[in-house]
Chains A and B, each alone.
Chain A
Amino acid sequence: DAGVTQSPTHLIKTRGQQVTLRCSPKSGHDTVSWYQQALGQGPQFIFQYYEEEERQRGNFPDRFSGHQFPNYSSELNVNALLLGDSALYLCASSPRRGGVETQYFGPGTRLLVL
């Protein structure tokens, strides 16, 4: 089991550009959550997807959008990049049946906006 995988590992963009980050959940998991972690901060919840729909959203602007595919993998899109979007973006997967099982986090994508 490969666990949660994310791509790319690192990315450099300039202000105003758009970026797409990708996540494949752990085998058997159908729910994907995205978090943004700025340097020296704890992760902040962006949104959660299951059944190919956004089910919950944190306090992030509409520039942040996502998608979930039938195979449960997910993309995070950020438009009109700002310098403040520079962060580690973490994906976490979990089973929607819920219960006591924890979320599993991927290694993250480090985004630098210049």
Chain B
Amino acid sequence: KQEVTQIPAALSVPEGENLVLNCSFTDSAIYNLQWFRQDPGKGLTSLLLIQSSQREQTSGRLNASLDKSSGRSTLYIAASQPGDSATYLCAVRPPSGGSNYKLTFGKGTLLTVNP
């Protein structure tokens, strides 16, 4: 059974700092890994998606890496801003891919960026 763990559970940083969020998964056989952002009481917004054959993806100030063999991914946020404050979730999709969209999520990291 796939299990996803995110560390730390919460993180508070001053504005402008670079930071790293961690995600680990127990079964390295995945189709892809995805990072989401969730604002309080809201739905999920996809940030980055990394296919199992890829090592990293970048979007603006965000960079996500994937080490499938060790079951780890990191989300790097450069020059953090108060607007980045949210819960960040990672999720893995099973290897069958195709029409199998069952995602397994971690519990998330609650990020607070202080002005």
Counting CB contacts under 8 A, is A70 at the interface? no
A55 to B89, Cβ gap below 8 A?
Answer: no
Counting CB contacts under 8 A, is A40 at the interface? yes
Residues of A near B105 (CB, < 8 A) are: 42-44
Partner of A45, one of B32, B103, B107: B103
Counting CB contacts under 8 A, is B102 at the interface? yes
Partner of A102, one of B34, B42, B98, B107: B34
- Closest chain B residue to A9 by CB distance? B41
A positions within 8 Å CB-CB of B:
4, 31, 33, 35, 40-45, 48, 50, 55-56, 58, 88, 90, 92, 94, 96-100, 102-108, 110
- Measured in the bound complex, the distance between the Cα atoms of B100 and A50 in whole Å is 11
Min CB distance A44 to B, Å, is 8
Knowing A40-B107, A42-B107 are in contact, say whether A58-B102 is a contact too (CB < 8 A).
Answer: yes
